Amino acid sequence: MLLLHCHRHRHHRRCVVVVVIIIAIIIITIIIIVIIIIIIIIIIINIIIIIVILIMLIIIIIIIITIVIVINIIIIISSSIVVIIIVIITSSTAQGGGGTFKNRKPIGEVGGCESGMAERSH
């Protein structure tokens, strides 16, 4: 439309220059808008990558903490089992071995053959 107006106008050259400048401004504006859109897309992709990396780091930290907790629980349980086994072994042999308290004399009471030795030593 502007070009038709320029043909009718007597200053045809000036009018063509103005149309060319307007077209150049429109093209430059479109290029700038496309560059801005590309920059925004790159920024969004970088933000997404950073978020994914942070989520992966959080998952790795949670896994490490879980492993440490499980290892500590295993250590506590195994040490408790060892203590229980030691208590069972020492308590069952406290009266002289064998694991039972049947026919055992209280500590300090002298038995049959021990009484003869005790009399000889006195």
* pTM of the predicted structure, to 2 decimals: 0.49
Q: pLDDT tens digits, residue range 5-33?
A: 555 555 567 777 888 899 999 999 999 99
Q: From CA 23, how far away is CA 49, in angstroms rounded?
A: 39
Q: How many residues does the chain have?
A: 122
The torsion angles phi and psi of 38, rounded to 5 degrees, stand at -65, -45
Q: pLDDT tens digits, residue range 35-80?
A: 999 999 999 999 999 999 999 999 999 999 999 999 999 998 888 8
Distance of CA 2 to the CA centre of its chain: 65
Per-state percent for the chain, helix, strand, coil, to nearest 5: 80, 0, 20
